[in-house]
Amino acid sequence: MLLIIACFGCGLIFGAGLLVSGMTQPEKVLGFLDIFGAWDATLAFVMAGAVAVSAAGFALARRRGAPALAARYHWPTRSDIDTPLAAGAVLFGIGWGLVGICPGPALVNLAGLSVPIVVFVAAMALGMLGYELSRMRGASGTAASSVITSRADG
């Protein structure tokens, strides 16, 4: 139960950070990506703040043997730069650039239940399921069971 409360609290703080930073507003995000227009560098400051604080926290985590409320750390283990990583990043980047919304801000914005956000989140979930299905179809038999294992980087 404590674990669930901690996860809820972390989601709440994460969402508050997205709201405070302005990253739930697509025009702020698109303003950063529009380097040929009226460039808005805010996203770089958001990244700097987020990376600095999380790096300090991760360093603290690595000094402790185990997380406070769970048996072990689930650090990503992969370090290879492969084709699915690059191709997935290209597709993700195109979708992100089209509307200025990525998964975190999409879920925070879901609270307002505006039609475009509901459409976006539904399509995003479909896209995720579509990828898992295509993976299952590609990996026949034994490998298909690996679909349910949690996947790497986040």
Cα distances from 22 to residues 6, 15, 73, 81, 115, in angstroms, run 24, 11, 31, 31, 20
Q: How far is the CB of 62 from other proteins (least distance, A)?
A: 9
Taking the least distance from each CB to other proteins, the nearer of 54 and 139 is: 54
Q: Assess contact for 61 and 67: CB atoms under 8 A.
A: yes
Closest distance between other proteins and the C-beta of residue 140, in Å?
18
Least gap, CB of 144 to other proteins (angstroms) = 12
38/142 with CB nearer other proteins: 38
Cα–Cα distance for residue pair 47/100, rounded to 1 Å: 16
How far apart are alpha carbons 14 and 1 in whole angstroms?
20
Q: How far is the CB of 63 from other proteins (least distance, A)?
A: 10
Tell which residue, 60, 42, 48, 50, has the closest CA to residue 14: 50
Nearer to other proteins, 63 or 141 (CB): 63
Q: How far is the CB of 136 from other proteins (least distance, A)?
A: 10
Give the residue among 106, 75, 104 at the shortest CA–CA distance from 11.
104
Question: Amino acid letter at 57?
Answer: G
CB 42 within 8 Å of CB 26: no
Give whichever of 88 and 143 is closer to other proteins, judged by the CB atom.
88
